């Protein structure tokens, strides 16, 4: 599996809205914790350490 950086989310604007709504009414600490949990859940879903490593490099 390789890292996909091209747009690949169906209805990305709708997803972005859902992401924003998930953060509504959260403190900074709660929002940071939500992001951390989401990252770990998605990393677990991906599972491939090479892909995860490439994602870390791309995010930097």
39-50: average pLDDT: 97
Q: What is the DSSP string of the chain?
A: -----S---SSHHHHHHHHHHHHTT--HHHHHHHHHHHHHHHHHHH--HHHHHHHHHHH-
Higher pLDDT, 34 or 1: 34
pLDDT number for residue 5: 95
- What are the pLDDT digits (tens) for 6-37? 999 999 999 999 999 999 999 999 999 999 99
- Asked if the model's pLDDT at residue 1 lies above 90, the reply is no
pLDDT score, position 24: 98
């Amino acid at each position: 599996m390789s890292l996909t950086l091209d747009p690949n989310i169906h209805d990305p604007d709708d997803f972005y809205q859902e992401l924003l709504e998930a953060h509504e009414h959260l403190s900074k600490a709660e929002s940071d914790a939500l992001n951390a949990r989401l990252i770990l859940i998605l990393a677990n879903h991906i599972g491939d350490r090479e892909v995860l490593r490439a994602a870390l490099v791309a995010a930097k």
